[in-house]
Amino acid sequence: MQSSRRSRAGKGRSKRSHGGGGKALPKDAGSRRLTGRTGHSGSYKAEYAAGFAEAAAILRNGAAPLAGHEAKLLMNEHWTRRSLQGALRSGSQQQRGMAFADGFAAGLRLPGGMWVPVALTRSAAAVVMAGPNARLESVQQLLRLPLDEIVIVQEAAGGEAFNRFRALPDVTIIHTREKLGMDVGRTVGARLTNAELVLFVDGEAAVSAEQLAVLLAEAQAGSDLVLADVSGRLGAFRGWSDAARIQAFMNWSLGKPELQANSVAVLPHAWSRPAMERVGLPLLAVPPMAHRAAIEHQLRIRCFPVAAASPAALGTGSMGPADAAKLSAGDHIEALRAAMRTKGARLSLPDGVRRRLAAGRSAT
Amino acid sequence: MPPIPTHAQPALPPAAEAAQHILSPQPALAEPLRLAEAPGDPLVSVIIPVMNERRTLGRVIREAKRIHPSTEVIVVANGSTDGSAAIARAGGARVLSYAEPLGHDVGRGVGANAARGKALLFIDGDMVISAAQLKPFVTSILQGETDVALNDYSGPTDKAAVHSVVLAKHALNALLARPDLKGTSMTAVPHAISRRALETIGAEALAVPPLAHAMAVRLGCKVSAVKHINVGKLNLLRRKRERTNPLEFLIVGDHLEAIDWLARHTDERGGFGDAGRKREFAR
């Protein structure tokens, strides 16, 4: 296993260190309702102005020109302070944050539309599972978030794919020649960061920074584990994959029917570090085991819809529905058996008043 | 958790039960009782566990007897106080009588133990299904097409949130590497099993139908869904009753027990392997 830690893009390298920000623009960024020069309307205009003023003040105070990672984190610090001070304001918190970020960028004379701030008082990182079909865009979206660290676990990847990710700024890459096997990279990646909030994402399915920001904000707000809510996308039960059925059955059996088919097996999701450590990092390598442990430890689990959640849960991931079903079956049997060690084979569900021995004997 | 027998006891008719075994023809029945004419053991045993089902039992027995010329009908009356046992005797069934309720589905195992047929059909005493509808289950067993002939009924699955029992059945079949069975199960009636299947899984396991189902699938019995009968529709009245006494938890618990057996019979991952995980890197 070799590790390549790229130095943070520093001052004076602003062009490069925007992390492909231009490409990572949300699709609708250009079509945003234009109201004046800022592109923000109504109450969001005030946020833009506030961001602009705060950034301009920094420049006026003689700070060296900022760019990239540092500028983004500084912006987020200011936004966090503003959010904590601010009373309830109208409109969406995320929209207001993005208006503030745009203003801040303009104040620093940087292009807008890149950053999605999240009011954070804790450090945050992302772990990217980058399989052979990993897409750059998944990481480009992460670069828009106020993450202290991005760890890319690149398994059995060729030199070409390695170089592609190496070209990104501000990322740590763990590159292995051999395959670690499904989900083992989650533990490997989690061990490489000390961040207090950790986002796990699928490098093969790009999820917009806006959606990931919601998971991060919820983890910051006190949830131990924030899952992608895929249940709404599964449709009628007859069309569910085997994996989804098995996940929903385990949730029901562990007394959490409200989780439906949602699971730690699905990416993306976010953990708080104390929760992750309570469950134990090795369990992250067998996600249903981590899921079972999270329920057993009565962690605060919340679910939010994520449009592009990894299709593994839907049985159509890169491994194919048949293999996904087998893996899910094995993982969930292992997890259920672990639960049975403390709660018995029926997981404390009653047996009524069955006189079973009568069935084993000849009638009397 | 009682030990699970791998082989059934020899299914000899118990002595005490012979007294309850009444075969006197009833004038009320239009059909002559062919059962009494058949020499030796019957080919088909129809097993009906009964607890206070006098309203429907007579009709259920009448249909059961029409399934095949060589049929014995075994009624396992347990905890019945409404004269169900007498109705069964009058209808020409062999009656195994227990004063106390045996518990859910235990009657199936008791009846199977007493059965002499080559095909065993399991039905309920409160659900009238015509002989014509029941025949295919027995026929597929007698013709050696399958060892376990299931009702091809998976429950209502055209909605996002299904009943926990429907979910459990689908999940168990997936965990048994038989997703093609969808939500069909030995939990549901009607279903028939061969004597070979009975001897493979043992009569005692029949008291926990999902366990019997898992054993049948994994111990090499041929398990297939043979005919669709919408028991959900026939079950409406019962569902009303179960609202106050939910069987839901019992049946889901049964499915978990089946998964526990599967793991003990194979390994901690049910024989599914680990997809090449190098867990040593995750320690």
Residues A84 and A139 in one domain: no
Q: Do residues A4 and A173 lie in contact, with contact meaning Cβ atoms separated by under 8 Å?
A: yes
B contacts of A323 (beta carbons < 8 Å): 275
Q: Which residues pair with A176 in a beta bridge?
A: A155
What 3-state DSSP class applies to A227? strand
Residue B36, pLDDT score: 43
Banded pLDDT at B10 (limits 50, 70, 90):
very low
pLDDT digits (tens, 9 = 90+) for B115-146: 999 999 999 999 999 999 999 999 999 999 99
B37 touching chain A per CB within 8 A: no
Residues A209 and A89 in one domain: no
pLDDT digits (tens, 9 = 90+) for B57-108: 999 999 999 999 999 999 999 999 999 999 999 999 999 999 999 988 999 9
In the block, tokens 């590497």 appear at B177
Banded pLDDT at A92 (limits 50, 70, 90):
confident
Residues A309 and A168 in one domain: yes
- DSSP helix, strand, coil percent of chain B (3-state; round to 5): 40, 15, 45
Question: Which parts of chain B fold into alpha helices (H)?
Answer: 15-18, 54-65, 84-90, 106-114, 131-142, 164-175, 195-201, 209-218, 231-234, 236-242, 248-265
Banded pLDDT at B18 (limits 50, 70, 90):
very low
A contacts of B162 (beta carbons < 8 Å): 237
Residues A157 and A228 in one domain: yes
- Chain A closest CA to B194's CA: distance in Å? 18
Domain for residue A163, yes or no?
Answer: yes
Domain for residue A349, yes or no?
Answer: no
Give the separation between CA B162 and CA A71, rounded to whole angstroms. Answer: 50
Residues A93 and A134 in one domain: no
Residues A299 and A190 in one domain: yes
Closest-CA residue to B137 (of B125, B152, B150): B150
A contacts of B202 (beta carbons < 8 Å): 360
Check residue A131 and give left, alpha or beta (phi > 0: left; psi -120 to 50: alpha).
beta
| Token pair listed for A333 | 């049997």
What 3-state DSSP class applies to B264? helix
Closest-CA residue to A302 (of A334, A272, A277, A281): A272
Average of per-residue pLDDT values in chain A: 85
Banded pLDDT at A88 (limits 50, 70, 90):
low
What 3-state DSSP class applies to B158? coil
Residues A134 and A260 in one domain: yes
Residue B172, pLDDT score: 98
Residues A88 and A200 in one domain: no
Strands B71-78 and B44-50: parallel
Q: Cβ of B159: how many Cβ atoms within 10 Å?
A: 12
Give the separation between CA B71 and CA B43, rounded to whole angstroms. Answer: 6
Indicate the residue type of A261. Answer: A
Q: Is A22 buried (19+), middle (13-18) or exposed (0-12) by CB count in 10 A?
A: exposed
B241 touching chain A per CB within 8 A: no
Q: What is the CA radius of gyration of chain A?
A: 23
Domain for residue A18, yes or no?
Answer: no
Domain for residue A360, yes or no?
Answer: no
Contact at CB, A350 and B108, closer than 8 angstroms: no
Interior CA angle at B105 toward B117 and B19, to 5°?
55
What 3-state DSSP class applies to B42? coil
What 3-state DSSP class applies to A111? coil
Which domain does A212 fall in, by range?
Answer: 124-343
Residue A36, pLDDT score: 52
Domain for residue A23, yes or no?
Answer: no
Residues A166 and A291 in one domain: yes
Residues A179 and A263 in one domain: yes
Those residues whose C-beta lies under 8 Å from the C-beta of residue A91, and which sit 6 or more positions away, are: A42, A43, A44
Interior CA angle at A339 toward A334 and A343, to 5°?
145
* pTM across the whole model: 0.85
B contacts of A180 (beta carbons < 8 Å): 277-278, 281-282
Which of B74, B105, B269 to mutate against chain A (most A CBs within 10 Å)?
A: B269
Interior CA angle at B85 toward B83 and B86, to 5°?
70
**Strands across the sheet containing A197-202:** A2-5, A172-176, A149-155, A124-130, A197-202, A269-272, A225-229, A301-305
Mean pLDDT on A175-187: 88
Residues A94 and A136 in one domain: no
Mean pLDDT on A310-323: 59
Residue A253 sits in a domain whose CATH number is: 3.90.550.10
Where is average pLDDT lowest: A123-127, A233-237, B121-125?
A: A233-237
Banded pLDDT at A204 (limits 50, 70, 90):
confident
Interface of B with A in 10-29 (CB under 8 A): 12, 14, 16-17
- Chain A closest CA to B29's CA: distance in Å? 28
Question: Which parts of chain A fold into alpha helices (H)?
Answer: 43-60, 68-85, 93-107, 136-142, 159-166, 184-191, 209-220, 231-234, 242-253, 273-279, 287-296, 321-343, 356-360
Among B106, B109, B277, whose Cβ lies nearest the Cβ of A181?
B277
DSSP string of A43-75, one letter each residue: HHHHHHHHHHHHHHHHHHTTPPP--HHHHHHHH
Strands A2-5 and A172-176: antiparallel
Closest-CA residue to A144 (of A11, A16, A21): A21
Give the separation between CA B52 and CA B75, rounded to whole angstroms. Answer: 12
Banded pLDDT at B17 (limits 50, 70, 90):
very low
If you count residue pairs, one on A and one on B, with CB atoms under 8 Å apart, how many are there?
217
Domain count, chain A: 2
Tell me the ipTM for this assembly. Answer: 0.85
Give the separation between CA B151 and CA B161, rounded to whole angstroms. Answer: 22
Residue A249, pLDDT score: 98
Banded pLDDT at A37 (limits 50, 70, 90):
low
Banded pLDDT at A89 (limits 50, 70, 90):
low
A contacts of B167 (beta carbons < 8 Å): 237, 245, 248-249, 252
What 3-state DSSP class applies to A236? coil
pLDDT digits (tens, 9 = 90+) for B187-229: 999 999 999 999 999 999 999 999 999 999 999 999 999 999 9
Q: Phi and psi dihedrals of B68, rounded to 5?
A: -150, 150
Check residue B144 and give left, alpha or beta (phi > 0: left; psi -120 to 50: alpha).
left
Q: Do residues A240 and A261 lie in contact, with contact meaning Cβ atoms separated by under 8 Å?
A: yes
Average of per-residue pLDDT values in chain B: 86
Domain for residue A158, yes or no?
Answer: yes
Where is average pLDDT lowest: A36-40, B113-117, B178-182?
A: A36-40
HSE, CB side, 13 Å, CA atoms: give it for residue B106. 26
What 3-state DSSP class applies to B41? coil
Which residues in B67-95 are b (16+ Cβ under 10 Å) and which e?
bbebbbbbbbbbbbeeebbbbbbbbbbbb
Domain for residue A5, yes or no?
Answer: no
Domain for residue A32, yes or no?
Answer: no
Using the 3D structure, point to which of A108, A132, A158 is the last residue of a domain: A108
Residue B38, pLDDT score: 47
Residues A178 and A320 in one domain: yes
HSE, CB side, 13 Å, CA atoms: give it for residue A191. 17
Q: Cβ of B148: how many Cβ atoms within 10 Å?
A: 27
A contacts of B2 (beta carbons < 8 Å): 356-357, 360
Contact at CB, A346 and B257, closer than 8 angstroms: yes
